[in-house]
Structure 1
């Protein structure tokens, strides 16, 4: 292993030098500092639902991140191995965007504690003053949280940057010492540390450019070679349950590792300058969703990549990590396919995996989910039978502390600037306000008034001191979209690489976008179909009974819930009869929470008929039957946005109505 590490480091260094370029390659787009973008309207309400739910209160009672543990001393040391890092990375942006003083204070106390306990070697975390082996990965999410705090509060810059450099110097020495600190999990997640190093290089190099790049190279070439993992000849095209990993890196097929690994090649490109890194990143993204993708926007991995069957699971950590990776891919590469998919994930897969009040979450969600209960047998080869229960920590605790990064990071990546910082672009559609200063000292404020994705129209107001070009993403699913500027006639949108240019003059500019979409169907295994319109995936919301399985002794709102279907769900549909129904809220305000049964204003009707559709064991649906016969009279059923369903059929057998 030592010899291979040495060879690869040399090869990587030669490859970088052979390009004839030095420094870091620029991104196509730049993110804005935390706090520059704020949610408004229903999206702000959704963030508050999360803040008032499990995410905003778990530090008060949940053993893994309770402040009484980590502020008290020894119990803190287990938290930076995973749980505390995850929590901090998520709750820094959550607290700031929600303007929650309690969470902001807890985040600051956590940062202060970690930095105060950094030892003389530069190490941060649970192994300080112990004989435990030092593994690098657990600190990476903490670093992301610390960077976000500096973005919001520049007064923290010196303290955080100094601590990071102490750690970087130590990590560099460890990596050069035969890959010390690199075990199987660190091998897959090295890209997160590389992104931290690149933040230092971009904003606080302090004469350490050579150290930073060398550490990036050491991380890459002592880690999983993602350029091989995403190569078509090695990439798994079916569920991986019984497949040997041809590269030997078993954890590269782990769902969350894959979600984080999506960032590896764009991060690599920045220091190698090799176009092949970007090409392979794009190919890998496409392979992942071709062979494991879900109509909800995400992919299946019930621990490991799980193919296309509708009963297989998707981990909640995987959902939020893929969203973050997709935002980063777009900023480096500029291909709108990444943000198109992230928007689908945010508005479908993310809310589907939590109860409407965000107090209970699943470990795994299913496309066809007819029960959420202890499953015997269960369809997940590597996860337990409790995995799809909605609760505090079903199966594993990681998603409890990691899931809150989803909405805040979606919000903070909703706008970007061009590389020269002369233009601003809105890449995620929804209700937002952003304030920033562009190049040539041009302060700009943007307000987007909309209930998108529950409406096709968006009204945007821009104020600017100087003229500039503003961009707004036009999703790939839009059909016959129009734009009206300053009250003028509506004209057809004409996006270039997914972005519509709007010429903004000094003063105030307004424009209205109308972005209609058609009903589309997606072919799924066994001749089944999934239904879409715009960014939303539609499913049959199975009426359910609910039973409390357990309740937390300190916080009774944190409970494990069992859901069972209370009516028939075994239907085939005639896709030619699909009809879109829009019942806009009379007040213009959506209900809170909007992602719960019967609450979204959009739906579809479709002609259906009952069929024989077996169950596997007693708790999950078998594969959709191909060309089933109707067993009863035809009827009209309603499909609703997938994110509002907790039990559902999202992939239907088909028939032809009379």
Structure 2
């Protein structure tokens, strides 16, 4: 595959070195859909329970003991904040605390915001470099800005203080970019789109006059021309890496181009760029880039593989937890700008599979599709991550995932509804148990049930839209007790005409079992939004306990039973046992608690291990070494050790 990168003549690098004023526009193109301010959408049912599990666990307590987010006294410390990781943590914990209605977390995040803003440098700088000789790099501010925006949306009384502070920083940043791109290093150059989104929030909501609008647009353009451009990275299948990249020459001479989390965040770059270029090709290339990532590096769990850098399709390669939550956030933004239903379809898959698969119970830096061991690997399949990377614990590898992971569920919740730009229609995007100014019945069990009942109370007539996922077959809708009719979505959305008063409708969204072809003739099993895996029986061992917080433990999991199964895909059978109480058990993504299962005829085979701690590739056309038996597959997100890409055989 190295030949993919041999023809480099005339190729423009992903890093543009010269900014040229385009003069194309002084306005922003509208989005297809608008987000709803934080707090306008609330989780209910099992989703609220999942958020509370997170809040009562590591996410809600790490500020009490974890060095990266516990060192600064936010009510009277000596620095604005002590690390980039605190900015990331605030970006995650502002929505977590508000949606969980957790007063302790809300007090902490409010104190953090107040302290950072009140200690802004006289030049406009925000951050730990205040009063020091440390170099000032722009990117470390961006997660904090996202947190400040979310808090302002929830509490408008903060608007003047936050907006004034952000404009001071924008003026400084603009002057830095004009001065030989001061403040731009590799990480800033790969994550510039987050600042553009902050600038666009100011433009859309607090433009402050023509001169300020011009400043915002000028800063956006300068960021674009000093950053890695998704347009050039995603423009051609010829230059996009189609295998794991550790042994593949990089045509851009910039290793961070193919860094997995950079790619996840960078998915927002072209839709953000489109808003000020008005260039349709930006959107076309963004859509193609999304497809390329999942075609060549995608996982049945919904996400793509990158154990630091893009990792191809092999089932034992890793996917970073930061990558999971950032891809979910980017997918939501892509839908709001472009409007293609493929984005929420995939975000929902990620949320209901890859996210809980690497999160429930503890955090895991890297997850694997076929994961037969989670512990200190004497030999590991990850070229650049350490042997501890798939441990479930406090900080299995780098600290970024420890502080960044809490944004996954809250931002999924916050983006579950959007409105049309004219504010005349509401769109229910992610299906699950939510409430908003209209009410989705809290008894909804989706994705653990095919039935969704929605009750709307309206003061005036309007059109309500609900997304019908692409995997639904023979779906129906029944409005106000009338006979069910076949759903007829347009671009993925089913329109429901709502009258003044109360409207109730029931969706039935059945889905068939489907299989996905994977490398080496293996298959993955899906039904609806859920991916299914064999939950390998396991034993547990404590590897380490945090001295300050004994509940923060690093855990090793070892397989305690055979896992070397091939399955016959013609024998797959789905069953569901609804809970007698109507309430799902907690936490729903724990082993053995899901009401859903798929059985398969299987047999043991010779399946080698590539090292003592990870499996070899699934064998092609394996022979049974024992009699046929029946195994049970459960949702991927409820497994710790698993096989989810199976060899196949034909049973008699």
- For normalisation by structure 1, the TM-score amounts to 0.95
Question: What is the distance in 2 between the residues matched to 1:508 and 1:67?
Answer: 51
Q: Give the count of matched residue pairs.
A: 637
| Deviation, structure 1 residue 66 | 1.0
* Aligned position for 2:611: 617
Match of 1:527 among 521, 524, 531: 521
* Aligned position for 1:576: 570
* Aligned position for 2:505: 511
| Deviation, structure 1 residue 117 | 1.2
* Aligned position for 2:47: 43
- Say which SS state the counterpart of residue 266 (structure 1) adopts: helix
* Aligned position for 1:403: 405
- Asked if structure 1 preserves the Cα contact closer than 8 Å seen for 2:377 and 2:388, the reply is yes
| Deviation, structure 1 residue 5 | 8.6
Is 1:127 matched up with 2:137? no
- Alpha carbons of structure 1 residues 171 and 556: separation in structure 2 relative to 1, 3 Å: same
- Asked if structure 2 preserves the Cα contact closer than 8 Å seen for 1:467 and 1:506, the reply is yes
| Deviation, structure 1 residue 252 | 1.6
- Say which SS state the counterpart of residue 653 (structure 1) adopts: coil
Counterparts in 2 of 1:533-544, with a 5 A limit? 533-544=527-538
- Say which SS state the counterpart of residue 603 (structure 1) adopts: strand
Is 1:462 matched up with 2:456? yes
- Asked if structure 1 preserves the Cα contact closer than 8 Å seen for 2:16 and 2:227, the reply is no
- Asked if structure 1 preserves the Cα contact closer than 8 Å seen for 2:545 and 2:554, the reply is yes
* Aligned position for 1:59: 63
1:98-134: per-residue Cα shift (whole Å, max 9, x none)? 0000100000000011111110000000111111110
* Aligned position for 2:143: 141
| Deviation, structure 1 residue 75 | 6.9
- Alpha carbons of structure 1 residues 445 and 634: separation in structure 2 relative to 1, 3 Å: closer
| Deviation, structure 1 residue 76 | 6.0
Is 1:9 matched up with 2:14? no
Question: What is the distance in 1 between the residues matched to 2:76 and 2:403?
Answer: 20
Is 1:301 matched up with 2:342? no
* Aligned position for 2:335: 330
- Say which SS state the counterpart of residue 260 (structure 1) adopts: helix
Is 1:247 matched up with 2:252? yes
Counterparts in 2 of 1:19-98, with a 5 A limit? 22-66=26-70, 69-71=73-75, 73-74=77-78, 77-79=81-83, 82-98=84-100
What 5-or-longer segments of structure 2 have no aligned partner?
Answer: 1-12
Counterparts in 2 of 1:91-490, with a 5 A limit? 91-207=93-209, 208-231=212-235, 232-354=237-359, 356-357=360-361, 360-435=362-437, 444-447=438-441, 449-490=443-484
Question: What is the distance in 1 between the residues matched to 2:15 and 2:384?
Answer: 31
Question: What is the distance in 2 between the residues matched to 1:351 and 1:70?
Answer: 31
| Deviation, structure 1 residue 554 | 1.4
Question: What is the distance in 2 between the residues matched to 1:473 and 1:301?
Answer: 30
Question: What is the distance in 1 between the residues matched to 2:454 and 2:17?
Answer: 54
- Alpha carbons of structure 1 residues 613 and 194: separation in structure 2 relative to 1, 3 Å: same
- Asked if structure 2 preserves the Cα contact closer than 8 Å seen for 1:445 and 1:464, the reply is no
- Asked if structure 2 preserves the Cα contact closer than 8 Å seen for 1:480 and 1:515, the reply is yes
| Deviation, structure 1 residue 447 | 4.2
What 5-or-longer segments of structure 1 have no aligned partner?
Answer: 436-443
| Deviation, structure 1 residue 136 | 0.4
- Asked if structure 1 preserves the Cα contact closer than 8 Å seen for 2:80 and 2:115, the reply is no
- Alpha carbons of structure 1 residues 272 and 558: separation in structure 2 relative to 1, 3 Å: same
Match of 1:492 among 473, 486, 489: 486
| Deviation, structure 1 residue 170 | 0.2
- Say which SS state the counterpart of residue 42 (structure 1) adopts: helix
- Say which SS state the counterpart of residue 194 (structure 2) adopts: helix
Question: What is the distance in 2 between the residues matched to 1:5 and 1:491?
Answer: 53
| Deviation, structure 1 residue 248 | 2.2
* Aligned position for 1:630: 624
- Asked if structure 2 preserves the Cα contact closer than 8 Å seen for 1:60 and 1:67, the reply is no
Question: What is the distance in 1 between the residues matched to 2:309 and 2:15?
Answer: 26
- Say which SS state the counterpart of residue 549 (structure 1) adopts: strand
Question: What is the distance in 2 between the residues matched to 1:475 and 1:648?
Answer: 26
- Alpha carbons of structure 1 residues 35 and 490: separation in structure 2 relative to 1, 3 Å: same
- Say which SS state the counterpart of residue 9 (structure 1) adopts: coil
Question: What is the distance in 2 between the residues matched to 1:127 and 1:226?
Answer: 30
| Deviation, structure 1 residue 9 | 2.3
Question: What is the distance in 2 between the residues matched to 1:517 and 1:25?
Answer: 37
* Aligned position for 1:640: 634
Q: What is the Cα-based RMSD across aligned positions, in Å?
A: 1.4
| Deviation, structure 1 residue 583 | 0.8
- Say which SS state the counterpart of residue 507 (structure 2) adopts: strand
Question: What is the distance in 2 between the residues matched to 1:103 and 1:222?
Answer: 37
- Alpha carbons of structure 1 residues 656 and 7: separation in structure 2 relative to 1, 3 Å: closer
